[in-house]
Amino acid sequence: MAYLTFTGYKTEDYLFDIYKTDTQFNGNSVVYIIFVADFKDNGDISNYNIIDIGETDNLNELINNTNKQDYLNKMNANAIGVYQCGDYKFRKYIVETLTTLYKSKFI
């Protein structure tokens, strides 16, 4: 598994576990980042562009949603970053922070 660290406004670091988009997930509460990523042979990521940043209280339900699957396929998404967080308000804060700070990495 690969990992990517994203830094927030106050230099707080958020370590995201990176999975391929065909991974089966539990119903975890998470902040997610959906990518188009270049994977090295060892599974690490050498380059990426962000498609979407969001939060959900059920990642499995989100990923298995037909509309979301169609969108991921259309955008050629091949990776999803997951940061587990049960606190809804904190998830929203992280999404706002990362969306603002990493907007140059969006495609």
pLDDT, tens digit (0-9, with 9 covering 90-100), for 35-94: 999 989 888 898 999 999 999 999 988 888 878 888 888 999 999 999 999 999 999 999
The CA-to-CA distance between both ends of the chain, in Å, stands at: 24
Region 10-21: mean pLDDT is: 91
> How many C-beta atoms lie closer than 10 Å to residue 17's C-beta?
15
Q: How is 68-92 classified by DSSP, letter by letter? A: HHHHHHHTT--EEEEEE---HHHHH
Residue 26 predicted with pLDDT over 80: yes
Closest CA to 81 of 35, 36, 43, 23: 35
**Reported pTM:** 0.90
